[in-house]
Amino acid sequence: MDIVVVGAGSLGSLVGGLLAREHDVTLVGREPHVGSVSENGLSVVGTEEFRVRPGAQTTIPQRADLALVTVKAYDTAAVATDLADCTLDACLSLQNGMGNEERLAAELDCPVLAGTCSYGARLREPGTVAFTGRGEIVLGDRNGGRSAVADEVGAAFRAAGIETTVAVDMPTRLWEKLAVNTGINAVTALARVANGALADSPADAIAADAARETAAVAREQGIDLSDERAVSLVERVVGDTAANHSSMYQDISDGRQTEIAAINGYVADTATRSVPVNETLAGLVRTWERHRER
């Protein structure tokens, strides 16, 4: 399969690297990373170690069988506009936050699948990505139900040795992932700790409360997500990605804009009830963003 990965940051480089063991992959990202990959290949280190030679460039190619979108949620609208000029058979969003698939589908002619990924990844230096925790990849029709395109993409992921679940309940899965991200990302970013530090810590109650609030908002939207399931998913991902620094931790460490608006901010904005933990976390991270040095 001819796959373009739009967003060769930490997660995009890791998943693109795993896929490149079997498929023709082009990573689209920024310099100096893509220059280093196109010259010397991509090294994956950590949980699995190997080197691959995907294509790597700063612009989106004209056509691909699959566009795998891994950009930050705040860049989705711009990427959707760029991808609209590209001939694609399918598009898969593997991003944090809600609403990405709708933004892509509004611009693209091909089927847009939803996906979730809880792998831990970190760009160590240009050309090298650390695989810091094997989580789960789930993908499927963004509105739920069976999809032949999702089956085909799932088979392509599995052919590359990536354990992948093709799900018929993606709307629920996206809320479950949101519960995980509302529990882990801002808390680890503000406490300056790896995901594993949340286990049995003074902050684990904050993470659990944020996830419970997210589950309550999901139920308001007609999604069947219990408080217990939301909290147990947070605990599972904390264990699976214990050594990983969350993407929001990495964003704050690198002085970058975060995805707070699409995570805790989304829950706070969507809720018709009071969600004080998500509001507090969103307020703290937004305050940091406002005063960060650019």
> Under the criterion CB under 6 A, does residue 164 sit at the interface with ligand KPL?
no
> Under the criterion CB under 6 A, does residue 278 sit at the interface with ligand KPL?
no
Q: Which is nearer to ligand KPL, 25 or 178 (CB)?
A: 178
Task: Please state the closest distance from residue 118 (CB atom) to ligand KPL, in A.
Answer: 4
19-25: long-range pairs with CB below 8 Å, 24+: 19/68, 19/156, 19/157, 19/160, 19/162, 20/52, 20/53, 20/54, 20/160, 21/50, 21/52, 21/160, 21/161, 22/156, 22/159, 22/160, 22/161, 23/156, 23/159, 23/160, 24/55, 25/52, 25/54, 25/55
> Under the criterion CB under 6 A, does residue 10 sit at the interface with ligand KPL?
no
> Under the criterion CB under 6 A, does residue 246 sit at the interface with ligand KPL?
yes
- Output the six-digit token pair for 39: 């010259």
| Binding to ligand KPL in span 80-109, by CB under 6 A | 96
Can you tell me which of 120, 140, 154, 265 binds ligand KPL, judged by CB under 6 A?
Answer: 120
Give the interface segment with ligand KPL, choosing from 47-55, 84-92, 244-252, 277-285 (CB under 6 A).
244-252
Total binding residues for ligand KPL by CB under 6 A?
A: 14
Q: Which is nearer to ligand KPL, 42 or 263 (CB)?
A: 263
Spatial contact of 6 and 76, defined as CB atoms under 8 Å apart: no
> Under the criterion CB under 6 A, does residue 181 sit at the interface with ligand KPL?
yes
Task: Please state the closest distance from residue 105 (CB atom) to ligand KPL, in A.
Answer: 22
Query: Does the active-site annotation cover 72?
Result: no
> Under the criterion CB under 6 A, does residue 185 sit at the interface with ligand KPL?
yes
Catalytic residue among 142, 177, 212, 245: 177
Task: Please state the closest distance from residue 196 (CB atom) to ligand KPL, in A.
Answer: 10
Q: Which is nearer to ligand KPL, 164 or 195 (CB)?
A: 195
Q: Which is nearer to ligand KPL, 90 or 248 (CB)?
A: 248
> Under the criterion CB under 6 A, does residue 241 sit at the interface with ligand KPL?
yes
Task: Please state the closest distance from residue 177 (CB atom) to ligand KPL, in A.
Answer: 7
Can you tell me which of 247, 258, 264, 278 binds ligand KPL, judged by CB under 6 A?
Answer: 247
Q: Which is nearer to ligand KPL, 61 or 135 (CB)?
A: 135
Active site residues: 177
Q: Where does this chain bind ligand KPL (CB under 6 A)?
A: 96, 118, 120, 135, 180-181, 184-185, 195, 237, 241, 244, 246-247
